[in-house]
Chains A and B, each alone.
Chain A
Amino acid sequence: MTNATLDARHSPANLEDILAPDGSAWNEMTGEVIALTPTPLDRQPSAYVQAAWKDRNHGAVAAVTVQAIRNDDTLALRLQWQAAQPKRSIDDINAYADACAVLFPANGKDTDLETMGSPERPVVAWHWRAGTDAPFSVTARGIGTVERSAEHQLQARSRWSDGRWQVVFARSLESDGLSLSGGTDIPIAFAVWCGAGSERAGLKSHSPEFHQLRIN
């Protein structure tokens, strides 16, 4: 598995055009196909989860195609993946919605991805879940320590058609959260949850290694 470098090239497109999941602004951007693997069962943070999923598969989504773009004010990422049976909302207590997330070291430089950060070097993730286009940001300091954190300038839009999700995350370049200053590579990782497979929390497909996001 080779690490990809995502180039967030500058575009004159305005925010609305960038947020459109099938917008033409994205046509010009090359995409990287990121291979995803099921998260290891023995790292799930509760014995119950490990026992409950012992004879059950998770990590149904094998790949996500990712593109990046920026304009003067905003960085955006588009994630696309195949979902023949989308779960578009949490429509019951035992139902789980499709979801995706992008994850960064909180310091923008380095952390341990395998453990989802550590107390000293947390990770931040932008999380989108089908049924709402109100994404949220989370901070984690190790597996099983996810907490929602304020990231007020985070937006998302989504679209499902022809068996495929398209989800755009957009965040102001200038924000209190993760520093997105240009010129450096920021490690980035990806996760996708298949709602039809009851995937949630640690049960997901993920990129087991960091890739690089280059904001030009």
Chain B
Amino acid sequence: MGSKKRQLAMVFDLNKCIGCQTCSVACKMLWTRDEGTDYQWWCTVNTIPGRGSPRDWEQMGGGYKDGKLSMGKAPERSDFGGGWDFNYDEVFYGKSAEKVPLRVVGEQPDWGPNWDEDQGGGEYPNSYYYYLPRLCNHCTNPACVEACPSGAMYKRDQDGIVLRDESACQGTRKCAEACPYKKIYFNHQRGISQHCIMCLPRIEDGVAPACARQCPGRLVFVGYLDDESGPIHKLVSEWKVAVALHPEYGTKPNIFYVPPIGPKPINDDGSIDENRNRIPDELLEQQFGPDVHQALATLQAEMAKTKAGGQSDLMDILIVYEWKHLFSEFTVDPVDIEQEAN
């Protein structure tokens, strides 16, 4: 391993995301099944517009303003929701099981992951929404690392993954305050915070992270930002069609998104307005910053090219004819990994 600093990144093509939560569940099954992690979903998919997971996270501050750390607050447990107990015994083994629906036992929740699913925005027939998968952004300027008073958090040189030494974490939750994306969770059982580790053990064995590998839509690209032959570099740096979420937060995220084009609006007479998009430009700019407009323009121009019978390298990348094209060198099959006994 050389000393060269590299940065792993991911690109989510939101035009292909169907909100199936397979990424969320893949992550859940792999990483957050232990005690204290019941409510933790390191990967979540939310319907936009919506209040998000955790609830109203975009109003909680953190990140950087004018190059200086900006104060934030940690979400409350109820802002995440989830981690509920269900009436499994009653449904699976009870006498009147057929009549009993699966439901939360005890205090009834009023929020949870993707609670406002598919509410969306706009008025019929011009309703709109899109799905936004979110995980730790493994930022180039990680506010969490700078805020940690315990020296527990760090960013690896070789791949830029933001990690936490759990033996040094004192559970101060300064990271959760400072992270503007509110993707850090507190483990009440262990008294430490936890977050996405970009499936580090898989990465080290050449396997793509679980959220990416399991995605049925084949919409998650993985690779190094500086790998000019890989799709990440092409989408982020060459075509500039993949943009960061809330770049104004100042942390330089390394999870990028191909913004959603969405359907065209329908006019009162039932005709289609080819000149506008249903998803408001202001919403996309609020989410992805001003660069989103050029990204959308490029996408639409390249789509038009192929519609007219032409060829587009960009469309070929986004179509992903072969799943291995998503993952640069991270195409090893997990079943081929020799597991070391603990």
Contact = CB atoms under 8 A, between A and B. Distances in A.
Interface of A: 44-49, 51-52, 90, 92-94, 129, 144-148, 200-202
A92 B76 contact: yes
Contacts of A144: 149-151
Contacts of B191: 90, 129
10 contacts: A48-B69, A49-B174, A51-B71, A92-B77, A93-B76, A94-B74, A94-B76, A147-B167, A147-B168, A200-B170
Give the residue among A93, A144, A200, A201 with the most B Cβ atoms within 10 A: A93
Main secondary structure of the interface of A (DSSP, over half): loop
Contacts of A200: 170-173
A202 B173 contact: no
Nearest to A199: B172
A45 B147 CA distance: 9
Interface residues on B, range: 20 to 34
B146 interface: yes
Interface string B136-149: 00000001001111
Interface of B: 68-69, 71, 73-78, 80, 143, 146-151, 167-168, 170-174, 176-178, 185-186, 188, 191
B182 to A, nearest CB: 10
Contacts of B172: 200-201
Contacts of A146: 150, 168, 170
A51 B69 CA distance: 8
Contacts of B149: 44-46, 49, 144, 201-202
Contacts of B68: 51
A92 B77 CA distance: 6
B202 to A, nearest CB: 27
B74 A93 contact: yes
Contact of B151 (A90, A92, A93, A145): A145
Given A47-B146, A92-B78, A93-B176, 11 more contacts: A46-B148, A47-B69, A51-B71, A52-B177, A93-B75, A93-B173, A94-B75, A94-B173, A144-B149, A146-B150, A200-B172
Q: Which 5 A-B pairs have the closest CB atoms?
A: A48-B147, A201-B172, A94-B74, A93-B186, A45-B149
Nearest to B193: A93
A133 to B, nearest CB: 14
Contact of A48 (B146, B151, B167, B168): B146
Nearest to B148: A46
A147 B174 CA distance: 17
A94 B186 CA distance: 9
Contacts of A44: 149
Give the residue among B73, B146, B149, B171 with the most A Cβ atoms within 10 A: B149
